[in-house]
Structure 1
Amino acid sequence: MADRKSGAGDTVVIKKYANRRLYNTATSAYVTLEDLARMVREGVDFVVYDAKTNDDLTRQILTQIIFEEESRGEALLPVQFLRQLIGFYGGQMQGVLPSYLEMSLDAFTRQQEQMRGQFSKAFGAAPGAGLLDEAVKRNMAMFAEAMKIWPGFNAAGAGRPAAAPPPEQAAADPLDEMRRQMDQMRAQLDSLSGKKGG
């Protein structure tokens, strides 16, 4: 893939060299993981390629950024969540989990934006820290509720495989069962979003 320079709205190409240095082809400057984390927060889309092999390293670099943030005391991911996440690798749900997590975080982000908009309308300015903290707590509770309907994330079954389905469900196609669970989760998220937004 050829190098692409970034224009307005384009994806920035970052090259990773053998010496582990990261080079931003849009600005023609070396960058750090901290710089890339700032770009993520600012909504700048980027991809990372190995400078020699041209392999896509974006996922690895984003994972490194999360590791760095967690290491410096900016802990965001609960230990139990990390244990459960690791438990899904190699399992039946590995193919479905990424889209589930992405959809859940999208719903969470939409809720945050709605709340900020409501606060702005009500107070004519950015919300106070206490009000925003309360909104975050409510959203986390909504997220936790949504997680309960997904097998394996249920707090009662933490660290253990989900209970076996009833015999009439056991014969069903696993793909149909996953679709049913996704539909159920979507309905739950929609109903929770309706309650919080209303």
Structure 2
Amino acid sequence: MSESQTSAKAPITIKKYANRRLYNTATSSYVTLDHLSQMVKDGDDFVVYDAKTGEDITRSVLTQIIVEEESKGGQNLLPISFLRQLIGFYGDSLGGLVPRYLEYSMQAFSHNEQQMRDYMRNALEGMFPFGPFEDMGKKNMAFMESAMKMFSPFYPHGADGSSPKVEDLQASVSALQKQIDQLTKKK
């Protein structure tokens, strides 16, 4: 859920103490990263504060949850190439565009995920609707391919191998945003 989409309900406050324990003030109980992971999956909004300084450390705790999930094995959602590219954007002049782009990409993916779930739910007597899934898959692949080309510093953008200007990249992001908006309106 994006920061701009949070509900009117106040988020649950979690305090992290120096001993690394997490305390849920709504339930008056200690919780683990697994509990917080389940809260995210359940759609519960929470904010984590350092109990001593009062600093908002929600981002670092969510990152810890991702690291824990990735280290469990089995299902890895973050490909190594993606992680390398993401790290490459820290300190880069275009790094400021990445959070917004990733947020919009996840919104579009979530929308398509819901469409896939709806197709499966509405399938008649075991019939599997391959056509809509194939179309969504192609759209997602084209979208991600164009995104990776735009953000990859090693992809030659021009015939001479030159990189695009910031204005060109901003125009591309705007065009991608329009595509996302169109996809989310088709719901």
Do both share a fold (TM > 0.5)? Answer: yes
Query: Cα deviation per residue 1:7-66 (whole Å; 9 max; x = unaligned)?
Result: x93310000000000000000000000000000000000000000100000000000000
Which residue of 2 is the match for residue 177 of structure 1? Answer: 168
43-52 or 86-95: bigger deviation: 86-95
Contact 1:146 1:189 (C-alpha < 8 Å) held by counterparts? no
- Once superposed, what is the RMSD of the aligned Cα atoms? 3.5
Q: Does 1:148 align with 2:168?
A: no
Matched residue of 1:77: which SS? coil
Q: 1:52 to 1:180 in 2, by over 3 A?
A: same
Matched residue of 1:149: which SS? helix
1:183 is matched by which residue type in structure 2? S
Q: Within 5 Å, which residues of 2 pair with 1:162-173?
A: 162-163=155-156
Which residue of 2 is the match for residue 46 of structure 1? Answer: 46
Identity of aligned residues (%): 42
Which residue of 2 is the match for residue 3 of structure 1? Answer: none
Q: Distance in 2 between matches of 1:39 and 1:118?
A: 27
Q: Does 1:76 align with 2:71?
A: no
Matched residue of 1:62: which SS? helix
1:149 is matched by which residue type in structure 2? S
Contact 1:14 1:22 (C-alpha < 8 Å) held by counterparts? yes
Contact 1:108 1:139 (C-alpha < 8 Å) held by counterparts? no
Q: Distance in 1 between matches of 2:62 and 2:36?
A: 9
In structure 1, the gaps of 5 or more residues are 1-7
In structure 2, the gaps of 5 or more residues are 1-7
Q: Distance in 2 between matches of 1:171 and 1:161?
A: 12
Query: Cα deviation per residue 1:65-88 (whole Å; 9 max; x = unaligned)?
Result: 000000011311111111111111
**Could you tell me the TM-score, scaled by structure 1's length?**
0.73
Which residue of 1 is the match for residue 36 of structure 2? Answer: 36
Q: 1:71 to 1:114 in 2, by over 3 A?
A: same
Q: Distance in 2 between matches of 1:49 and 1:171?
A: 41
Q: 1:31 to 1:118 in 2, by over 3 A?
A: same
Q: Distance in 2 between matches of 1:47 and 1:138?
A: 38
Which residue of 2 is the match for residue 116 of structure 1? Answer: 117
1:186 is matched by which residue type in structure 2? Q
Q: Distance in 2 between matches of 1:65 and 1:171?
A: 36
Contact 1:111 1:139 (C-alpha < 8 Å) held by counterparts? yes
Which segments of structure 1 move beyond 6 Å, counting only runs of 4 or more?
A: 164-167, 169-172
Matched residue of 1:93: which SS? coil
Q: 1:77 to 1:46 in 2, by over 3 A?
A: same
The alpha-carbon deviation at position 114 of structure 1 amounts to 1.8
Q: Within 5 Å, which residues of 2 pair with 1:58-69?
A: 58-69=58-69
Q: Distance in 2 between matches of 1:51 and 1:93?
A: 34
